[in-house]
Amino acid sequence: MPVHRTATARAAALLAAPLAAALLAGCGGHESAPAALVAPVACADLASRTVPASAIGLPTGGASVTSAAVVMAATGNYCQVLGKIAGATNAPNSGASATPDIRFQLNLPVGWNGKAVQMGGAGYNGVVVDATAPVPFAPASVPLAQGYATFGSDSGHTGSGASAEFALDEAAIANFGHEHLKKTRDVAVALIRLHYQRLPTRLYFAGASTGGREGMTAIERYPADYDGVVASAPALNFTGVRLHGVKIGQAAYGTPGGHVSRAKQVLIRDTVLAQCDADDGVADRIVANVRTCRAKSAAILAALRCAGGADLGERCLSDAQLATVRAVADDLLLPYRLAHGVERHQGYNILQGADFSGPLGLGGSATLLAPPTFDNGYLFAQGDGYVKYFVAKNAALDTLRFDVNNPGALLPRLVELSATVGATNPDLDAFRARGGKVILMHGLADEVISPNATIAYYQGQVAHYGQDSVDGFMRFYTVPGFGHGTGAFLPSWDALAVLDQWVTAGTAPGALSATDTSPATKGRGRPLCRYPAYPRYLGSGSVDTAASFACVSN
């Protein structure tokens, strides 16, 4: 695509001269020094380098490399660079203290392919993404082994990934929401240029869940910095996810008898499979024809209900427990608007095959813990922490009493946060104009980030730009049976190769193929179908072979 290559080359040329001057100044050079670097900086010599604040597109105190050493790896040797980006004391919202440091890791392969990948985090981050692993939710993609320079960060705070306590610091929220992406990207590009004496010809972003949100945030906020993104299970409506979790917790623990036991969570899954598994032409414990299954929701709820509505044991659900199930399945409708006009968070596919009996599901404790943990349900525990630390700044807040529909004085705060830590902006004009490409993927059985929220965002893109235009820059794949890294079908596919071929060669992807890595069914194949299609068995051939299925729409 000549237009895209020209735009990329122009952007690189515009960046190269000022960046070179800034780096020379930051590395002991002078204003009179030549604009081009004399020679590449060896790996060990990177350990003494700094990147000045002037080379970073957001306020910082500059960056420093804390260590740099060659790592001998079976997939190829690389220079491992560790460093930190200092906070700026005069940054907005920094208060009396400096913005927290951002710790990062950059990997510079000996056999560099000339391209780079920024890799996203998970949960609330807090741990440096070492960027040596496969692309999340796409284990056949290992960027470093494929010759990419790779990098990631901790998003500007330390923590477990499950704890929201860091959000007591407003500057840490800004870093987590989006600022760490730009800061880390600019520092990595500066160091890449120091080491190789040239800029990357392509720069991609790849991530899932929080990392998927980060990928979409990157192209919404910093579109000139990226050529493409792989975003799987993106937590686009981050505030909506957390508010939905609070509503689920209130149904389960704020209503007598509302908790759904592990055994009943399994019963829900098995009842759905009995009703919907074969709707795609084969009984394989995967609900692929979600639309047909959705039409059976009332029948499934009726089949689950205990006679008379009272709790009669583990073979049925009481009315209070069914209300909890509906709290999971139904859209969370808000009587106010979050950022970009969002007024709902789409419900989960618990009645269409999503399994909520696992560690990220509804939890196993009938007793509410203080504070709530994953034993009280992942969604509730995370929602509880979000409201306490991000929204109210009050660790003692009782979220069972928090009125999601009428948050009162906290409403402006909710709206503000939905913009800071969300990625619901439908405007991708600048990214599209530079030829950027997006590969979206979401498992239809995801129990953490609702696939229906991603579907809604994609449908919004189609409504805004038109199908033909969207097809030119975004491809969206939905995967039946795939949860949040768990499930009946765990797809292995080379997402980065698909993206790179589209960006560099103009090869737009159609239906793809994935191999199951689930231990019980490892090796079987299925098509990865573009939304709204799903894989339907053709009626003959091995049910373990992707060629025996066709992507069809109802």
Residue among 174, 171, 173, 130 nearest 152 (CA):
130
Single-letter amino acid code for the residue at 41: V
Q: How far apart are CA 458 and CA 439, in angstroms?
A: 11
516 is catalytic: no
How many Cβ atoms are within 10 Å of 30's Cβ, its own excluded?
8
> What are the Cα distances from residue 12, in Å, to 23, 205, 225?
15, 17, 10
CA 409 to chain CA mean position, Å:
30
Cβ partners under 8 Å of residue 486, min gap 6: 355, 358, 360, 447
Catalytic residue, chosen from 280, 446, 494, 500, is 446
Which helix (H) or strand (E) element contains residue 206? strand 202-208
Catalytic residue, chosen from 94, 141, 155, 209, is 209
CA 106 to chain CA mean position, Å:
20
Residue 196 half-sphere exposure toward CB, CA atoms < 13 A: 24
CA 297 to chain CA mean position, Å:
28
446 is catalytic: yes
153 is catalytic: no
Which helix (H) or strand (E) element contains residue 451? helix 451-465
Cβ–Cβ < 8 Å for 437, 227: yes
Cβ–Cβ < 8 Å for 288, 297: no
Catalytic residue, chosen from 259, 355, 484, 516, is 484
Residue among 111, 78, 280, 83 nearest 184 (CA):
83
Helix-strand-coil split of the chain, %, nearest 5: 40, 15, 45
- Sequential DSSP letters for 457-484: HHHHHHHHH-HHHHHTTEEEEEETTB-S
Q: How far apart are CA 550 and CA 309, in angstroms?
A: 42
Helix H segments across 92-176?
A: 170-174
List beta partners, residue 138: 135
Greatest distance between any 2 Cα atoms in the chain: 86
- Sequential DSSP letters for 249-310: HHHHHSSTT----HHHHHHHHHHHHHHHGGGGSS-SS----HHHHHTTHHHHHHHHBPGGGS
If 0-12 CB within 10 Å is exposed, 13-18 middle and 19+ buried, where does residue 268 land? buried
Q: Look-up: residue for tokens 């220079």? A: 79
Q: How far apart are CA 82 and CA 52, in angstroms?
A: 16
Cβ partners under 8 Å of residue 174, min gap 6: 91, 92, 93, 99, 420
Residue among 308, 334, 333, 336 nearest 322 (CA):
308
| Catalytic residue positions, numbered | 209, 446, 484
